[in-house]
Amino acid sequence: MIGPMRERVVAACDGASKGNPGPAGWAWVVADETETPARWEAGPLGRATNNVAELTALERLLTAVAPDVPLEIRMDSQYAMKAVTTWLPGWKRNGWKTSAGKPVANQELVVRIDELLDGRTVDFRYVPAHQVDGDRLNDFADRAASQAATIQEPAGSDHGSPEPPPSPDTPKASRPAKAKSPRRSGGSSSSSSSSRTIKAKFPGRCMCGRPYAAGADIAKNDQGWGHPECRTAGA
């Protein structure tokens, strides 16, 4: 658990679902004093919705940080933020029912987050997703969650994982320059870790329009994961 390192800790969390519902993942990142990503964690959720992934990311972040540490949490999910800052008090008064009398969606996660927020100082800050020169912490969490959703494997600083790759949803101008070099180098598959192929955990569709099956070899393409032979098609 992240303990009291300083007066205030700045963090971000995000979730991703490839299909909504579909293969999903969550991620959180905690910054150092210069708001540079210092520690992070991401994990797979199997098949889930975006909302479940977003709430899970928040729950995992709150679990990872000591309750006496004041937190600023940056999120791009209006649903998850409003669920815990705006709607939750009314839900509790109504016995975990919505204003329409229906059971609150994802109630177990919301109840757990409510317990984790009890007695601690948390400032939620909304940041727009996938913006050129957007919030770097949210961008990091977005990329980590997207990777976890795609490959369905845990990652993070405790795992010794490299920085997550660019999200296919983020404009190129906001991507790290080093991630662009393989596409400028004539598509040499040996010039970058982007040449790595993995076995797909779930079926999907390549940027070329053709599908790939679960268990098939896939590689990181310009717009996401797909056939290895399509890797440099957008170069």
CA separation, residue 140 to residues 7, 78, 143, 186 (Å): 23, 18, 5, 27
* 171 Cβ contact partners less than 8 Å away, ≥ 6 residues apart: 130, 131, 132
Task: Calculate what percentage of the chain has a pLDDT beyond 70.
Answer: 80
* Residues whose CB falls within 8 Å of the CB of residue 99, separated by 6 or more in sequence, listed in order: 90
Residues 6+ apart with CB under 8 A from 19: none
Q: Average of pLDDT values for 176-192?
A: 37
Instruction: Tally Cβ neighbours within 10 Å of residue 148.
Output: 28
pLDDT tens column, 196-217: 788 877 777 776 667 778 888 8
How far is Cα 70 from Cα 103, in angstroms, rounded to an integer? 31
User: How many Å apart are CA 88 and CA 58, to the nearest integer?
Assistant: 15
pLDDT of residue 15: 97
H or E element in which residue 226 lies: strand 224-226
pLDDT, tens digit, 9 for 90 and up, residues 84-122: 999 999 999 999 999 899 999 999 999 999 999 999 999
Rounded CA-CA distance 29/11 in Å is 6
Q: What are the pLDDT digits (tens) for 40-55?
A: 999 999 999 999 999 9
In this prediction, residue 179 carries a pLDDT of: 39
Q: Tens of pLDDT along 4-14?
A: 445 789 999 99
pLDDT-derived band of residue 192, with 50, 70 and 90 as boundaries? very low
| Residue type at 50 in one-letter notation | N
